[in-house]
Amino acid sequence: MSSRDRWTAADVPDQTGRVAVITGSNTGIGYHAAEALAGHGAVVVLAVRDLDKGNAAAKRITEAYPKAAIEVRELDLSSLASVREAAEALGSAHPRIDLLVNNAGVMYTPKQTTVDGFELQFGTNHLGHFALTGLLLPRMARVKGSRVVTVSSMAHRIMAAIHFDDLQWENGYNRIAAYGQSKLANLMFTYELQRRLAAKRRSTIAVAAHPGTANTELTRYLPPLLRPADRLLMPLVVQSAAMGALPTLRAATDPKVAGGQYYGPSGIGEQRGHPKLVDASKQAHDVELQQRLWAVSEELTGITYPV
């Protein structure tokens, strides 16, 4: 890889005048993306479930960048009521939104449901972000060059399928397969959203990214049988959360990015390294499944898109 292919946070263009909303940005990948965007001049909104942690993150960013413009907004993606309240507050505070980064997520959780009765991983990782994007899109569609960046995972290939006959895993539960379903849904959502935006000739684009194997808090629910292997392999394959944030940052800011693209690490197996254009599974590109998932998502959330 040549030196100019080693895209880093230093390659983020000037973000002055842009408003960026990042979910789950008090820690991990979301935090490092927020820090980089704020450091390059963007007004950054930390949309987080825990306001205390969000305020602490905002303080850390302003300590590093005293001129940074940071806001903290409460958002619980596992509650559609919270999503609606957050979207209304964001819309009132910001008539224009340039960038929405759908980053927050939960992984490998024990069987739980959201307050609306959805399986927790599918409800949080996909349906919550589907609803939030739909509600904020009118604020973005009027902004030339705006972007929706959704963070997926290599797990979209692992035991992954959209279980339309049992989306909420009421007839048995596999936490790994359920996570894979939610991450596959993130990619299908991105591709279908981009197709709809392009059909309406909107300048807003939808892009996806994945962090590879990054050191974040997501692994706290790792099944006990996998923890010894995780501890053994972590020093070999896991990269820092700051490196894991680079695909998201590139998808969000690189002028050369096109709608419907997918960015991930450049190393072996896309586990670590500098960000590059990667591809998703064949299943993720299935247009019929994308459209079916979209229809179900609108029905479950009650959100109808303006595209």
- Quote the mean pLDDT of the chain: 93
Task: Supply the CATH classification number for the domain 14-301.
Answer: 3.40.50.720
Give the pLDDT confidence score for residue 7 in this predicted structure.
98
Q: Which of 64-68, 157-161, 165-169, 215-219 bottoms out in mean pLDDT, i.e. has the lowest?
A: 215-219
Model confidence at 225: pLDDT above 90:
no
pLDDT digits (tens, 9 = 90+) for 226-236: 545 555 555 55
The burial of 116, by beta-carbon neighbours within 10 Å (0-12 exposed, 13-18 middle, 19 or more buried), is given as middle
pLDDT for the residue 5: 74
Percentage of residues in the chain having pLDDT higher than 70: 92
Higher pLDDT, 215 or 145: 145
Is residue 51 pLDDT above 80, yes or no?
yes
Average pLDDT for residues 2-17, to the nearest whole number?
A: 86
On whether the CB atoms of residues 44 and 70 are closer than 8 A, the answer is yes
Residue-wise pLDDT for 241-263, tens only, equals: 999 999 999 999 999 999 999 99
- Provide the pLDDT confidence category of residue 57 given band limits of 50, 70 and 90: very high
- Calculate mean pLDDT across residues 118-135: 98
| 68 pLDDT above the threshold of 60 | yes
User: Does residue 80 register a pLDDT over 90?
Assistant: yes
Q: Catalytic site residues?
A: 179
* pLDDT class of 82 with cuts at 50, 70, 90: very high
Q: What is the pLDDT of residue 215?
A: 80
Q: What is the mean pLDDT of the segment spanning 54-82?
A: 98
CA distance 303 to 297: 8
Whole-prediction pTM: 0.93
| pLDDT reported for residue 254 | 98
- Asked if residue 3 has pLDDT above 60, the reply is no
pLDDT interval class at 73 (50, 70, 90): very high
Domain parsing of the chain, residue ranges:
14-301
| 186 pLDDT above the threshold of 60 | yes
